[in-house]
Amino acid sequence: MARLLLFNKPFGVLSQFTDRGSPTVRSTLSDFIDMKGVYPAGRLDRDSEGLLLLCDDGRLQARIADPRFKMPKTYLVQVEGDPQEAELERLRRGVRLNDGLTLPADIDRIAPPDLWPRDPPIRQRKMIPDTWLKITIREGRNRQVRRMTAAVGLPTLRLVRWSIGDWSVAGIAPGQSAELALTSGSIDGIR
C-alpha cells in the first residue's frame, strides 16, 4: 500500500521540509506535516497555494511528477486585466516561453471562486480589472502558469492549484491534509 497525502499548501510555504541556508526563517512543510517517509510529488511555488501531493512510493511519485505522463493539473488563476478571446486563444494553442513552446492548455473564464482568504490579501487596483481563469496544463515547467499569463499581458495575482489528475483540494482547508491509501494496481492506472 502506498500512502498519498493531499495537502492544501498555504501561500508563503515552501514545498520542502527544510529551509537550510536562508537568512530569514521561512515556513516549510514540516510546520504542517508530521508524517515520516512522505515526499512531495512535484512542487508548488512559495507564492502559490493549493494542492500539493506527497507520497511514500517512488513509482507513484514519478507517475505524478514526471512530465512524460502528462497528468493534468488544474489551476484557478486570478489575473490582472480583462482577457479577450485573442489572449485566451494564444494560451489554448501554446505560448512561446524562454524555454520553448508550451503544450496547448485548456482555458476558461470563470466567476470568482469561493476560496479561503489569502494572507496577505492580493493587491486591489481601482482602475484595473481582474479576472479569474481556470487553466489546465499537462506539463510542469518552473512557474509555468505565471509565465504563460505574463506572456499574453495578463500578470497573475493569485494562483491556486485546484487539482492534479482526479485528486482535488476541495474540502481541505489551507494547512490541512487528507490521506489516501493506494494499492499497486491503482498506481498503474493513474493518468
Give the side-chain half-sphere CA count within 13 A for 30: 9
45 noted as active-site residue: yes
User: Would you call 92 helix, strand, or coil by DSSP?
Assistant: helix
Task: Report d(CA 23, CA 10) in Å as an integer.
Answer: 21
In our burial notation (b when 16+ CB lie closer than 10 A, e otherwise), range 2-37 reads bbbbbbbbbbebbbeeeeeeeeeeebbbeebbeeee
Of the listed 45, 119, 166, 188, which one is catalytic? 45
- Letter for the amino acid at 72? P
Helices (H) and strands (E) in the chain, counts: 4, 11
In DSSP terms, 110 is beta-bridged to 132
Q: So which residues are the catalytic ones?
A: 45
